[in-house]
Amino acid sequence: MEIRILSHTPNPELIVALAARQSWSSKKVEDLKKELTPEKVSSFLRKLYKMHHLSPFEHANFTFLVEGISRVTSHQLVRHRIASYTQQSQRHVEVTEGKFVVPETIKNKSSTHSLYTKAVKSAVSIYKKLINEGVPLEDARYVLPSSVTTRIIFTMNARELLHFFKLRTCIAAQWEIRKVAEEMLKLVKEIAPNLFYYAGPPCVEGICPEKKFCELFKKYYKKKS
What would the pLDDT profile of 34-52 be if each residue is shown by its tens digit? Answer: 999 999 999 999 999 999 9
* CA 182/CA 201 separation, integer angstroms: 10
- Categorize the per-residue pLDDT at 224 as very low, low, confident or very high, splitting at 50, 70 and 90: very low
Phi, psi of 27 (to 5 degrees): -70, 160
DSSP secondary structure, 184-211, as one string: HHHHHHHH-TTTTTT-SSGGGGT--TTS
Domains of the chain, with CATH numbers? 2-84+150-198 (3.30.1360.170), 95-147 (no CATH)
Rounded to an integer, the average pLDDT of 63-79 is 95
pTM score: 0.89
One-letter identity of residue 184 = M
Question: Which one, of 159, 162, 166, lies nearest residue 209 by Cα?
Answer: 166
Residue 107: per-residue pLDDT? 92
Reply yes or no on whether the pLDDT at 225 is more than 60: no
* CA 34/CA 14 separation, integer angstroms: 11
Sign (positive/negative) of CA torsion 109, 113, 115, 116? positive
Residue 218: per-residue pLDDT? 63
Rounded to an integer, the average pLDDT of 56-77 is 96
Residue 219: per-residue pLDDT? 65
Residue 206: per-residue pLDDT? 75
Residue 25: per-residue pLDDT? 87
Is 201:169 a contact under the CB 8 Å cutoff?
A: yes
Phi, psi of 22 (to 5 degrees): -70, -25
Helices 12-22, 38-50: axis angle to 10 degrees equals 70
Neighbours of 202 (CB within 10 A): 19
Q: Which of 21, 141, 159, 168 is catalytic?
A: 168
Helices 158-168, 175-191: axis angle to 10 degrees equals 140
Residue 215: per-residue pLDDT? 67
DSSP state of 225: -
pLDDT per residue over 140-172, tens digit each?
999 999 999 999 999 999 999 999 999 999 988
| 168 is known as an active-site residue | yes
Question: Which one, of 61, 65, 59, lies nearest residue 6 by Cα?
Answer: 65
Residue 189: per-residue pLDDT? 97
Rounded to an integer, the average pLDDT of 71-98 is 90
Residue 181: per-residue pLDDT? 97
